[in-house]
Structure 1
Amino acid sequence: MLKAYKFRLKPTADQKILIEKHIGGCRYVFNWALAQKIKTYEETAKSISQFDLNRQLTQLKKEQLFLKEVNAQSLQGMTKQVESAFTKFFREKKGFPNFKSKKNPLQAFQIPQSYSVDFDNNIIKLPKLGNVKAVLHRRFEGNLKTATVSRTPTGKYFISLLVDDEKSLPKKQEFTTETTIGIDIGIKDFVVLSNGEKIENPKYLKTSLKKMKALQRQVSRKVKGSNNRRKVIKKLTKLHEKITNQRNDFQNKLSFRLICENQAIALETLNVDGMIKNHHLAQSISDASWSSFVTKLQYKAEWSGKTILRIGRFQPSSKLCNNCGYYNRDLTLKVREWFCPECNTFHDRDVNAAINIKKFALIDQNLITI
């Protein structure tokens, strides 16, 4: 089973320079390889292979001497990334590969092998960089795979280690109606559970929006290229990073709790890309980051042997009475509570939706019948 472990790096001033050279060199080789791919196809209508690019890379390093300061395996990894990007484009229709920009907020490079971790001394030994101090806050066992060194917009350095612990994924645990929870994801309440519990949306972006706008105004008033402008931009970047960290912390804790407490979780398939086209709700939906939360639920469920059940996006949930099946066609978005005219049952719209999501998911699994 593959797991990624992320640690904070504490490089020296010289090591920071080398990291920047690695980032720049890898970006240069990726763009060069992508340009060679495009050029070769335009001229010959054939694709140049990764092995041919690696052979040309040897000559490129003789012409661009700064590339010799970069780990050779990291540079070859860029040609592999280009090859993988083209494979996804042709086979999976993922979109044509783009050139890497140095203006991208997150800069990184990969180290395929030849590195080691010393937990006792809090050191990670990397090719060309030597012993780099790291905050190794947790231990792991397994075979080291690819390492990714990254620099955040605020100037912090991290390393993500992919580790194979040689364990298989646990067998899926059996679940029943009692051990299954339905979840309705929303804006006012981040999640509403089928047992009636509501977890409020912390809205980290909205909370910091006033301060963010003030900093953005300060940036616009500063002279471009000045030290004062850079200082304000750094403050703004730190605020964005804080919001991201708060959101990830909240979602990780909530997803861990839900996975631990239930054997199966039922979710509705949401068209998030389509929903954010509504400019009235786009900011709130982006702040909630539903897709990120669902991703955390999915991989935690895989690691724990739990099950994620999905229902279709067009299946009615909030407008359907979970007691008698009456469909309320006149229910608008602003109405949060309603009475069923057929069975006279009072419904909280979101709780009713969570219960129906659970029911539809269990019907699909043939655990209950209509």
Structure 2
Amino acid sequence: MLDGAVKIPKLSPMEARIHREIIGKVKSITLSRTSTGKYFASILCEDAKGAPEKPDVIDADKITGCDLGLTHFLIRSDGRKQANPRYLIRASQNLRRKQKALSRKVKSSKNRTKARLIVARCHEKVGNSRADFQHKLSRALIDENQAVIVETLKTSNMLKNQRLARHINDAGWQGFVTKLEYKAIDAGKHLVKLDQWYASSKKCHRCGHKEIAMPLGKRFWQCPACQMEHDRDINAALNIKQQGCI
């Protein structure tokens, strides 16, 4: 490593924007190239520091259950809801215009190459915006809590629903849980992932009554056993928290 540059064997030093201090011994450097022609260097370092130990005793107020959804991206067990930014849906009209322009270009022409780069930059902007949102939200969750409990979603099955497939891909739940996971390990916090078959939405968090069916359009329901009115998503988040604490 050099100041403001990366040195690869058999190549001259390459200018680089190093956004954080390199600590420890550099073990490897992996170079990658995006579809827009940008190059990134992923640097693996050995700093001889182990992951911090997770606390054995957890404050009950520092535990949160998280339900992931489409109307709201994240619903916490304390009732707070995080709106779903829908980056791809919001950019769809702009993307459609640029993709139509690309389809009209002559194949193998310079204009087609330019149009392809324009479309790739739009997709890259959507991906960067989504990643930035998920990084900030996952960092806030890990910093505010000692334990975070999330559901495990089988997105491959959910994508079979053609009406929701695009919205599910746009949400990127799996990427968000992955970010939560490595941030929790790095901070010495607990991350609990529930079984994918746990029916968090159908169960009353107060009395434990379980409904036979719960269609997606049913956002509020009343428990026939204890007569409690439920917000579907908040009830699911409370069930996730209770199940994760067992």
TM norm. shorter chain > 0.5: yes
TM-superposed CA distance for 1:329, in Å, is: 2.3
Mapping of residues 1-370 of structure 1, within 5 Å = 117-118=1-2, 121-174=3-56, 175-363=58-246
Paired letter, 1:276: L
Q: What does the per-residue CA deviation read over 1:292-341, in whole Å, with 9 as the maximum and x for residues that have no partner?
A: 00000000000000011122122221111111112222432101011222
Q: What does the per-residue CA deviation read over 1:92-149, in whole Å, with 9 as the maximum and x for residues that have no partner?
A: xxxxxxxxxxxxxxxxxxxxxxxxx12xx31222212222111112103111111011
| Greater Cα offset, 192-201 or 317-326 | 317-326
Q: Note the aligned Cα RMSD (angstroms).
A: 1.2
TM-superposed CA distance for 1:354, in Å, is: 0.4
Cα distance in 1, alignment partners of residues 122 and 79 from structure 2: 34
User: Which portions of structure 1, spanning 4 or more consecutive aligned residues, are displaced by more than 4 angstroms?
Assistant: none
Secondary structure of 1:247's aligned partner: helix
Cα distance in 2, alignment partners of residues 256 and 220 from structure 1: 40
TM-superposed CA distance for 1:344, in Å, is: 2.1
Cα distance in 2, alignment partners of residues 169 and 291 from structure 1: 23
Percentage identity across aligned positions?
Answer: 44
TM-superposed CA distance for 1:256, in Å, is: 0.5
Paired letter, 1:210: Q
Q: Give ranges in structure 2 of 5+ residues lacking alignment.
A: none
Cα distance in 1, alignment partners of residues 101 and 119 from structure 2: 10
- 1:177 touches 1:362 (CA, 8 Å); kept in 2? no
TM-superposed CA distance for 1:199, in Å, is: 0.2
Aligned length: 245
User: What TM-score, normalized by structure 1, do the two folds share?
Assistant: 0.65
Secondary structure of 1:242's aligned partner: helix
Cα distance in 2, alignment partners of residues 203 and 263 from structure 1: 29
Secondary structure of 2:75's aligned partner: strand
Q: What does the per-residue CA deviation read over 1:165-217, in whole Å, with 9 as the maximum and x for residues that have no partner?
A: 11011101232432210000111111100000000110100000111111111
Cα distance in 2, alignment partners of residues 304 and 177 from structure 1: 18
User: What TM-score, normalized by structure 2, do the two folds share?
Assistant: 0.96
Q: Give ranges in structure 1 of 5+ residues lacking alignment.
A: 1-116, 364-370
The verdict on how the C-alpha distance between 1:330 and 1:126 changes in structure 2, with shifts beyond 3 A counting, is closer
Paired letter, 1:334: G
More helix by share: 1
TM-superposed CA distance for 1:153, in Å, is: 0.9
